[in-house]
Amino acid sequence: MPNHLPASLKVVDFELPATQISAVIDAIGQKEFCALLADLCQISSGYDRTVITAYFPEHPPVEVYHNLSAEESRKTMAPYFEYAYFLDPLYQYYCNTKGDQDVVVALSNVAPDAFEETQYYKTFYARISALDEVTLFIFFAKKACLSISLANQNHATNSVENLQKLLPILGSVARRHWISLDPNSTQGTGRMAAVLKKSFEQFGTSRLSQRESQIAQLVLQGLPTKVISNKLDVSPETVKVHRKNIYQKLEVASQGELFSMYMNAVAQMPPNSTSDPLEFLDRHSENMIPI
């Protein structure tokens, strides 16, 4: 193990876990690198769970590493990487960023208002008791990105500040471990992101009016009525009327049931379909996902 560390380690003003940093440096190119990287992030921030994901333009996310329990993984990981990632506020943040600078992002800063009340949050965050989450985005060539998501059952004091100070080191070791981040060299098996995006934009069009489909898609993204009304330049009352009509036509009673309908429709549609997922929904199927 080397007895020296990069000079950059000396510029931050919180006590660095030098032993863990040295271990990560030594593990570059080795199979234990991800586990040691997760340990370093958790020790530096106070979080207790890590999920590392690779993001690519026009390609589904690829699972790289996680230290969730078997039960937590069963409930969330498979559906997330197959299709649910498209509604994740952190994935949307990645899609909308330029990808030219590493950054630390708190979920609370990018999620829509009242996100904790949405079915998406209840399914993919509350089920693993993730009351607080922060993600480090480390960018590679062609906007490929390594996402290191850290979760905790409690709010971690000074976690974002500490991770921001450690980010240059994390980015440096990650880009040395993954000299190039390429989806073709992974085992990703999810749907093509471009196909999923097109099918999402068609959600509801086979049963709803154009405006109703538009509002249904915004509701699925967790946006509250006031935000939708501002986005579409209509009154909140108009949005409420449309939501009522949407629920009646689709025979659902809440945002949670609408989310469940979308998840099951996407799960049942052909992999390369870009039409309305509802065209393929069979509510009597034995493969219906309990949400």
pLDDT of residue 203: 94
Q: Are 147 and 81 in contact (CB under 8 A)?
A: no
Instruction: Give the pLDDT band (50/70/90) at residue 50.
Output: very high
pLDDT of residue 16: 66
| DSSP symbol at 5 | -
Q: What is the mean pLDDT of residues 150-156?
A: 73
Higher pLDDT, 208 or 84: 208
Tokens describing residue 76: 């969330």
120 pLDDT higher than 70: yes
CATH topology of domain 18-185: Beta-Lactamase (3.30.450)
pLDDT of residue 104: 95
Percent of the chain with pLDDT over 90: 38
pTM of the model: 0.70
61 pLDDT higher than 60: yes
Q: Can you tell me the distance from the alpha carbon of 207 to that of 196, in angstroms, rounded to the nearest whole number?
A: 19
pLDDT of residue 45: 87
**Could you report the per-residue pLDDT of 71-90, keeping only the tens digit for each?**
888 888 888 888 889 889 99
127 pLDDT higher than 90: no
DSSP calls for 235-249: -HHHHHHHHHHHHHH
Least confident of 49-53, 103-107, 265-269: 265-269
Distances in whole angstroms, Cα of residue 198 to Cα of each of 202, 273, 276: 7, 9, 9
**Could you report the per-residue pLDDT of 10-39, keeping only the tens digit for each?**
333 456 677 888 888 888 888 899 999 999
Least confident of 31-45, 105-119, 157-171, 200-214: 157-171
66 pLDDT higher than 80: yes
CATH topology of domain 193-280: Arc Repressor Mutant, subunit A (1.10.10)
Cα 91 to the chain's mean position, in Å?
4
Higher pLDDT, 70 or 192: 70
Higher pLDDT, 130 or 163: 163
- The per-residue pLDDT of the chain, averaged, comes to 83
Distances in whole angstroms, Cα of residue 230 to Cα of each of 105, 218, 225, 237, 244: 25, 12, 9, 12, 18
The ranges assigned to domains in the chain are 18-185, 193-280
Q: Can you tell me the distance from the alpha carbon of 115 to that of 122, in angstroms, rounded to the nearest whole number?
A: 9
Q: Can you tell me the distance from the alpha carbon of 57 to that of 182, in angstroms, rounded to the nearest whole number?
A: 11
Instruction: Give the pLDDT band (50/70/90) at residue 186.
Output: very low
Place of tokens 């209509």: 234
Higher pLDDT, 31 or 184: 31
Of 87-101, 157-171, 234-248, 259-273, give the range with the top mean pLDDT.
234-248
